[in-house]
Structure 1
Amino acid sequence: MRLAELLRANTTMQRKALIIGCPDEKIPGVNDDMRNYRAFFESPAGGGWLSSEIKTLQSPSMLEVQREMKELTSADYSIVVFAGHGEYSHDTRSTQLHLGPDIRIDEYMLKEGAPRHTLIIDACRVHSDTPLLEQIKRSSLALASLPDVSLSRMAFDNHLRKCRPDVAVMYACKIGEAAGDSPGQGGTYSSTLLSESREWASNSINQKTGVLSVSEVHALAVPLVYRQRGGRQTPTGVFPRTVPHFPFAICA
């Protein structure tokens, strides 16, 4: 994507990212996920987010989550990442997320936010009436450095401007499944999303397209996660009918 094309567009899109991590002794990889997502977002490949645009909450209270979700509504685009324990409830027909041993929130709470909004849930979705035998996922991967973060920011914002207001939701696994965790890397789904984005951004052939969307990176991750987990984990996503979809990785 040429610099002149990027500079022609207004680049004042307001972004806000919220990373929620709830680690414990069973899923220490959540700590890796919190670091890895922030590092990716701030990298040129991730769109060159500013540190001030990203908020990380570790094992927050429900009130803290509610407050930060309200803050997201002032942005043009928001993305929320949840990493921790979870389970699927047939009563609410939704994924219940664990902020702490006795604190649960409904996934619907995290679907609010800016007019353009993406939600990534890296948590188990086993049925709530069965034992929660899985842990969650996180991953540390060094992302390839591109030369200029400002170009990535412009490309990210310019693509966002083409997207209609809507919500995209990405789950690490389908209902009834548990999400895998790899010690030292993090969640199987999260680490795959980030590694595939890094590899895509470093491939010069993608200079022509410039943007890897949330649905495209999800599509890349699905077969890899399925294979890594021996067919026991199938990521699933719900994306807007209108295109283009929100950006995830940039090759500017």
Structure 2
Amino acid sequence: YLKGVDHDLKNYKEYLTSNVGGAWYGNDYSTSEIQILKNEKKDVIISAIKNSNADFTFVVFTGHGFLYSKNDLTYICLSDGYLSEHDLITSAKRRVLILDCCRESEDMSESFLGDGGKISKSRDSLSFYSNSKVLEINTSRSVIHSRAKFDLALQLSNEGQFTGYACLIDQTSGDNPTSGGAFSSELINTGKNFGSIDRKDFWLPIRRAVNETIKTLKDDIFTDQIPTYITTPINMDLTHPFAITNMLNII
């Protein structure tokens, strides 16, 4: 069990519900937009993904994972089996998937994958799933409230899937038992730093956030992991918001 996972859970929830993170509705609201699936089984996670009814979804997994060499897909390790990154894609038009796990290649038999697959070792993990509804915003006025800015950014962003990986193929993902995953920690710090600066571009797209995180981790002497990402459609500059500036913006 990776002790840093508990910190990732806490850090992501605090960030997403903060003004900089977009002021997602948490437990203080009658209907929370954040669903936490900790050490859950495959069918519970698949059900949550399939039953999502949102305009935008932000799905994060932190824990153990690997790359299946026969299809080059990243798999997450659960207590009762494995799920591929494709199993974590929702039906929303705008989607973000963050996989903070190792991606070392493993050539495993088909019996290890899929429903009822053989388990070589039970591994606890955390899956963090959340979603947001887009609200109608009047773009001719000043936008002050962080949630209003976040919803407007979603309206202005293009459609597609962004998948961020904590490391390259055949690399391990660093985990600090006292602070969380190296990639997740730096990604959240990138968002916080953006939100504290007054600027004309009032939101930080997830693609830019990951690119800045890549630069930061390259200078980190305590890890050699290099984050990466893919977009669907391929090479599209997806602009899904990850951070919102705290400052007043005139839209």
Partner of 1:54: 34
One-letter code aligned to 1:59: N
Partner of 1:93: 72
Return the alpha-carbon distance in structure 1 between the equivalents of residues 85 and 183 of structure 2: 18
One-letter code aligned to 2:55: D
One-letter code aligned to 1:197: G
Q: 2:209 aligns with which of 207, 211, 217?
A: 217
Give TM-score scaled by structure 1 length. 0.77
Identity of aligned residues (%): 31
More helix by proportion, 1 or 2? Answer: 1
Partner of 1:202: 196
Q: Following superposition of structure 1 onto structure 2, how do residues 59-78 of structure 1 map, counting pairs within 5 Å?
A: 59-72=39-52, 74-78=53-57
Contact 2:99/2:164, CA 8 A, preserved across alignment: yes
Contact 1:164/1:242, CA 8 A, preserved across alignment: no
Partner of 1:143: none
Give TM-score scaled by structure 2 length. 0.77
Displacement of 1:243 in angstroms is 4.6
Provide the alpha-carbon RMSD of the alignment.
2.4
| 1:124 aligns to 2:124 (yes or no) | no
Contact 2:97/2:164, CA 8 A, preserved across alignment: yes
Displacement of 1:192 in angstroms is 0.1
Question: Structure 1 residues 178 and 243, CA, compared in 2 at 3 Å: closer, same or farther?
Answer: closer
Question: Structure 1 residues 166 and 123, CA, compared in 2 at 3 Å: closer, same or farther?
Answer: same
Structure 1 segments (4+ residues) deviating >6 Å: none
Displacement of 1:236 in angstroms is 0.2
For structure 2, the 5+ residue unaligned runs are 27-31, 109-120, 127-142, 247-251
Displacement of 1:230 in angstroms is 5.7
Displacement of 1:213 in angstroms is 0.6
Contact 2:69/2:107, CA 8 A, preserved across alignment: no
Contact 2:67/2:75, CA 8 A, preserved across alignment: yes
Displacement of 1:165 in angstroms is 2.1
| 1:228 aligns to 2:220 (yes or no) | yes
Superposed CA deviations along residues 197-224 of structure 1, whole A, max 9, x for unmatched, are: 11111122x2x21101101110110022
